[in-house]
Amino acid sequence: MPEPAEIFERIFAPLSQHAPGSEASSLRALAAVPKLALDARILDVGCGPGRHTRLLARETGCRVAAVDLARAVLGRVRVPGDATAERIDVVQGDMGRLPFADESFELIWCEGAIYCVGFREGLDHFRPLLLPGGHLAASDLVWLREERPAEVVEFLALEYPEMVSSEVRRGEIAASGYELLEEFALPDSDWFDVYYAELEARLLELDGEDLGPGRAVVEMCQREIDVMRKTDGACAYVFYIMRKTH
């Protein structure tokens, strides 16, 4: 019988993105970053299959280092024949132990992945890697209001116990040595038009298979989709764009 970790990889490896987001939201976040020189260096942490990596390389003309722990997706980051391929360096690595020297990057990008190490911990890990005055763009799931559907609260207390309000995140940004330049909540379409649409279709493809213990992974993913349809605006992924101050 396949192990749960194997099923998780089988579910997510074919998807075009591994978290809520869209080209429109990535472009909006990038627009909040001052224009970069062509010789600037960008780090995309938790790059997944490379949707935002390619966007960063295309829109800035800069070299991008793309890092992810999952080897299976890294082969999809550079698309043969795509003009961005020659400006992307793919690195397998842990975002908590990034293999780069201090002050290596003008921009660090972490879209839908900073929860892997924790938001505050991620801010602390990334700051030394930024040049003075460098920028960090990161998105995270946060509470937007106090009135929250009980089913959503119960589910997220198990799946993301470190989740806090956007107000708390702003305080963490300031305390970690950054100036917040812009923030915005991703629209529901960033969850459902591509990410959850692809994920749910993938779950249906696996529905008839005997997955043994791995069946729990499929059920957990479907449960997430069902619950997130009921948030009623109580939470959202929020993009934070900030500048290193010290």
Question: Residue with structure tokens 């132990």?
Answer: 97
Measured CA distances, 139 to 32, 86, 213, 232 (Å): 14, 27, 32, 20
Say whether pLDDT at 3 is over 80: no
The model's pLDDT over 131-156, given as tens digits with 9 standing for 90+, comes to 999 999 999 999 999 999 999 999 99
pLDDT the model gives residue 71: 86
Say whether pLDDT at 171 is over 60: yes
Phi-psi region of 4 (alpha: psi -120 to 50; beta: other; left: phi over 0): alpha
CATH number of the domain encompassing residue 110: 3.40.50.150
- Work out the mean pLDDT of the chain and round it to a whole number: 95
pLDDT the model gives residue 214: 77
pLDDT the model gives residue 9: 87
| 88 contacts 53 by C-beta, under 8 angstroms | yes
pLDDT the model gives residue 234: 98
Q: Label residue 138 exposed, middle or buried (CB < 10 Å: 0-12, 13-18, 19+).
A: buried
pLDDT the model gives residue 2: 66
Q: Which domain holds residue 70?
A: 4-244
Distance separating alpha carbons of residues 116 and 162, to the nearest angstrom = 11
According to DSSP, residue 209 is labeled S
Number of domains, the chain: 1
The pTM score is: 0.95
47-56, 125-134, 206-215: the lowest-pLDDT one? 206-215
The model's pLDDT over 76-110, given as tens digits with 9 standing for 90+, comes to 999 999 999 999 999 999 999 999 999 999 999 99
The model's pLDDT over 65-75, given as tens digits with 9 standing for 90+, comes to 999 998 889 99
The 10 Å Cβ neighbour count of residue 192 is: 16
Band (pLDDT 50/70/90 cuts) for residue 5 is confident
The model's pLDDT over 177-216, given as tens digits with 9 standing for 90+, comes to 999 999 999 999 999 999 999 999 999 998 877 778 878 8
SS3 103: coil
Distance separating alpha carbons of residues 212 and 218, to the nearest angstrom = 11
Chain-centre distance for alpha carbon 9: 17
The model's pLDDT over 34-44, given as tens digits with 9 standing for 90+, comes to 999 999 999 99
pLDDT the model gives residue 206: 87
Alpha helix ranges (H) inside the chain: 4-12, 23-31, 51-60, 71-74, 119-126, 150-159, 166-175, 189-192, 195-205, 215-228
| 89 contacts 64 by C-beta, under 8 angstroms | yes
